[in-house]
Structure 1
Amino acid sequence: MAPSRRTVRWGASVGAAAVLCTGGVAHANGTPGDTTTPSAPPAAPSGNANDQEVSASVTYSRIKVTQISGPTGGNRGSISSTDVTWEPPPCWYEPVFTPEQLKAFSEGGNPLGHVSPHTSWGGQKLWTDHYRDKKDAYSYKDGALDPVAGYDDYNTGKNGYFWRGVARDLADPDSYGCERVMFWQNAGEVPDVPNAPTPETLAEYAYDKVKVPDTEIELKPEAKSTVNAPTWVWLDKGTFQEVKVRAELPNTNLWAETTAKPVALHLNPGTEDAETFPASGDCEINDDGSIGIPYKTGDAGKTPPCGISYLRATDGEPYELTASVTWQITWDGSGGTGGDLPDGTFETTQNMNVQEIQSINR
């Protein structure tokens, strides 16, 4: 649950490293005094962890995403989970600064940057007090301010990184689960804290980055059908292929590959006055990536393995035929990990005009 807005007063017990938790900024230049949460969160710093720039904002992850296989051209879009309750992780921790980078940032001018997703420090004194001069800082934990021991000269000479929380959406109350003030971790180690990144974290992050091709089905007849005459639907072989996306978190040896495999095409004719073939409207995708069977001369009186028969003509307004592909999602990751994620869907809609059979009386 997100903490309520609050005012933190500096005192001898808190010191210059006071931390605001709710998107506030703590300033430490000049005489200590009241620090209040502004009405709106400050703009997130951007850039890389070099000199005066805070490494990328807390809503921007350093996770590197690469498409390993599958189509890359044409019209593509993101899949939607069939499990409406499922979402990618709201927050996790990532390595941000080396000792040298943090020193350059902290002592270069008037630094302003995040130490957690909802907490910014403004002014050199906050940074140098905690990360150079071993003074405690305070983070929000279990409804109270929790003291965090300071560091000696940014841990210069040690091999490792300072880690900070990253939030996918700062408005999500669950993003407050990564409010620990930026902390040290030795190189080659992943911190043992709640919401530390795992291969599954990366797999779920990659799920959100999978792009699949539009569902451009072939129709016969095209766009205009006749009442009670089946419309054949098919896709040529190879149209749909697996899409594999790899996600890696630098400086952690963590990686995962998320694979989306097309398994079925669902047809929704856009009206109850229609029949689908098969009756469920689910046309299986064959091993070669094809769907159904292409229409050929002489098939007019046959029932298609994948198709629609409209029972009522349109009257000015076309029916909206929706074709949605179900994608089965699996993943493999570092350390021999792997598993399943909720299926995803991607749909497209096209207009269908349906006419009555015309007859001539002689």
Structure 2
Amino acid sequence: MKPPPKKDPPPNTITTQVQYKRSYNGPGPKMAPGAGSNWSPPACWYEPEFSPDDFENYLNSHYVSDQNAFADMARRYGAENYHKGDKGTWWELQVPDLSRAGECAGIEDWTFIKPGKPPPNTPTIDPKTLAGLAYAQTVLPAPPVTLKPVPENQLVNLATELAFKLPLPRVTVTASLDNAAAGVHVAATTVAEPYELRVDAGTPDAEPASCTYRLTNQGGTYTLDTHGAPCNVTYRRASPHGGYTLTASIVWKVHWTPSANPDGPAATAPKLPDGESTQPTTVTVRENEAIVH
């Protein structure tokens, strides 16, 4: 086990042992469930921290200057001699987002867990928890779209076509925790695959004002080219000063595997909500009387 820390970390420090491996490390928003979803990532969970001997040392080193606090901790967690001589580990409750601490009210800061299956309703780190944490750490790239005509030269009554500059790969994040001393080795991987592109013209003076396109899977990457598509946004009126804001949004279908392998068997529960990434583009639309319809 790791030795007891000499002092408490700052209140907002995240001390979790969870590690993340990402397939995409570029810019973009973190994935969040869309409107209407009641899913949220875990607010708190237990992680293995100390052997019984190290836990006793931890309490002694932390509360030597406050005997009342030490007596309270010893009463709550030392009634069985800190479980010295027992097989198992002291696990600490992790609450990285203090704004959600209320969701963890009533859960003890420490619990002793014997090897094997933890007690029921104990929120220990497990693949389901890691899947939620990986989801919350997933960053989605903006849609890599190009417009034809170009944004600065859109034309009234001429359809706006879109294409991807480069094929778009799926995005994976693996969350894992390895604690050899406690015999804990768990991992989960979220896989976000681009599914469709939605386009909003940014004005009712377009026909149609929005279009949705399914993306094409080409050997594991996804492409888009709306040339000749039955639905392409067409502006019917020139834009005012400042232009219109055309917004392209990718919907990402998300699943997870209970391992570090993104291509492993997908878990069936819990189902993770879709993600979304957007790219607003200012377009200038002009009249062009020379166009024949």
- Give the TM interval when normalised to the shorter protein: 0.7 to 0.9
Residues 287, 307 of structure 1: alpha-carbon distance in 2 compared, 3 angstrom cutoff: same
Indicate yes or no: 2:242 matched with 1:329: no
Q: Which has the larger radius of gyration?
A: 1
Indicate yes or no: 2:70 matched with 1:127: yes
Query: How many residues in Structure 1 have an aligned counterpart in Structure 2?
Result: 274
Note if contact 2:7-2:62 (Cα within 8 Å) is conserved in structure 1: no
Question: Aligned residue for 2:188?
Answer: 256
Residues 55, 189 of structure 1: alpha-carbon distance in 2 compared, 3 angstrom cutoff: farther
Note if contact 2:199-2:248 (Cα within 8 Å) is conserved in structure 1: yes
Note if contact 2:144-2:166 (Cα within 8 Å) is conserved in structure 1: no
1:61-72 alignment to 2 at 5 Å?
A: 61-67=16-22, 70-72=23-25
1:13-162 alignment to 2 at 5 Å?
A: 50-54=4-8, 60=14, 61-67=16-22, 70-72=23-25, 74-82=26-34, 83-108=36-61, 110=63, 123-124=66-67, 126-127=69-70, 130-131=73-74, 136-137=75-76, 150-152=79-81, 154-162=82-90
Give 1:306 shift.
6.1
User: Which AA in structure 2 matches 1:123?
Assistant: D
Give 1:305 shift.
5.4
- Aligned-partner Cα distance in 2 for 1:75–1:321: 20
Note if contact 2:201-2:210 (Cα within 8 Å) is conserved in structure 1: no
Residues 167, 126 of structure 1: alpha-carbon distance in 2 compared, 3 angstrom cutoff: same
Residues 55, 255 of structure 1: alpha-carbon distance in 2 compared, 3 angstrom cutoff: farther
- Aligned-partner Cα distance in 2 for 1:85–1:305: 35
Per the normalisation by structure 1, the TM-score is 0.66
Aligned with 1:206 (options 117, 125, 134): 134
Give 1:85 shift.
2.6
Give 1:337 shift.
7.2
Give 1:324 shift.
0.7
User: Which AA in structure 2 matches 1:75?
Assistant: P
The secondary structure found in structure 2 opposite 1:81 is coil
Residues 176, 75 of structure 1: alpha-carbon distance in 2 compared, 3 angstrom cutoff: closer
The secondary structure found in structure 2 opposite 1:205 is helix
Question: Aligned residue for 2:217?
Answer: 287
Give 1:94 shift.
1.9
Question: Aligned residue for 1:348?
Answer: 279
Residues 358, 314 of structure 1: alpha-carbon distance in 2 compared, 3 angstrom cutoff: same
User: Which AA in structure 2 matches 1:86?
Assistant: W
User: Which AA in structure 2 matches 1:323?
Assistant: A
- Aligned-partner Cα distance in 2 for 1:237–1:196: 41
Aligned with 2:198 (options 257, 266, 274): 266
Task: Give the structure with the larger helix fraction.
Answer: 2
Task: Give the structure with the larger strand fraction.
Answer: 1
Give 1:149 shift.
6.6
Give 1:181 shift.
4.0
Note if contact 2:203-2:244 (Cα within 8 Å) is conserved in structure 1: yes
